[in-house]
Amino acid sequence: DVKVTQSSRYLVKRTGEKVFLECVQDMDHENMFWYRQDPGLGLRLIYFSYDVKMKEKGDIPEGYSVSREKKERFSLILESASTNQTSMYLCASSPAGVGYGYTFGSGTRLTVV
Amino acid sequence: AQSVAQPEDQVNVAEGNPLTVKCTYSVSGNPYLFWYVQYPNRGLQFLLKYITGDNLVKGSYGFEAEFNKSQTSFHLKKPSALVSDSALYFCAVRDPDSGGYQKVTFGTGTKLQVIP
């Protein structure tokens, strides 16, 4: 069964901490994405990557960075966590091309205190 | 700019009755349209997509969706609802004619509650 695996289901961090969210896919997909999900706002794209070492800003990149050193792994970094970054974070991947749906991970619920 | 709207925050339906979850979209070209389902504390799962061809698309778990270009809609349907269908449903759109990376835009989600 194909999978997108997010390293943590629940995470609690303190304000100002540097936070790493890891995502690994085993489908050899070219594209990988990070979204945050908030009630009433749906999914908002933070960053995406269409190739190793490539990254593009999404709709809400402020306060975040990403790293993709290997094709299967896409990391989201919160440089200095703040309480307004408390959210559900979803990683997704897809093959190259426009007609494909996304495969999502189970999500990481991050609480910043 | 592309957009997608899910006009209902919540839909309640009795078990065994037909269900419809509404979605309308706005794109400059011909849309690619998707439905996803999210069960509690889980990521989204792909249900079905419309790219081209027949306006009625069949997907997983007995769901189907009808593409209506004149009404710019892509409503999700199922003939007979199950309690296990209770979940959060997201519609998404992509404009393949927009050039560059064709971003997918998600709706805000509709909570489906199937009542036993």
pLDDT in tens, A91-102: 999 988 777 889
Q: How far apart are CA A35 and CA B95, in angstroms?
A: 19
pLDDT of residue B100: 57
pLDDT class for B4, splitting at 50, 70, 90? very high
Residues of B with CB under 8 A from a CB of A: 32, 34, 36, 41-46, 49, 51, 90, 94, 96, 101-104, 106-109
pLDDT of residue A86: 97
Q: Does residue A23 or residue B43 have the better pLDDT?
A: A23
* Partners of residue A75 on adjacent β-strands: A67
Q: pLDDT digits over A5-45, tens only?
A: 998 899 999 999 999 999 999 999 999 999 999 988 889 99
CB distance B46–A58 less than 8 Å?
Answer: no
* Type of residue numbered A17: E
Question: What's the whole-number mean pLDDT along residues B83-110?
Answer: 85
Report chain A residues whose CB lies below 8 A from the CB of B42. Answer: 106-107
* Partners of residue A48 on adjacent β-strands: A33, A56
Q: Which of B36, B94, B108 sits opposite A41 (nearest CB)?
A: B108
Q: How far apart are CA A12 and CA B84, in angstroms?
A: 31
Contacts of A97 (CB under 8 A, 6+ apart): none
Tokens for B29?
A: 């070209």
pLDDT of residue A82: 97
Instruction: Tell me which of A46, A50, A93, A104 to substitute to probe the interface with B (most B C-beta atoms closer than 10 Å).
Output: A104
Tokens for B75?
A: 């409503």
Q: At residue B102, does pLDDT exceed 80? A: no
pLDDT of residue A2: 64
Percent of the residues in chain A that have a pLDDT greater than 90, as a whole number: 81
pLDDT of residue B104: 87
SS3 state at A58:
coil
Query: What average pLDDT does chain A have?
Result: 93
Instruction: Tell me which of B2, B44, B48, B101 to substitute to probe the interface with A (most A C-beta atoms closer than 10 Å).
Output: B44
Sign of the Cα torsion A48, A51, A54, A56 reads negative
- For residue B40, the distance in angstroms to the closest alpha carbon of chain A comes to 10
pLDDT of residue A28: 92
CB distance A101–B49 less than 8 Å?
Answer: yes
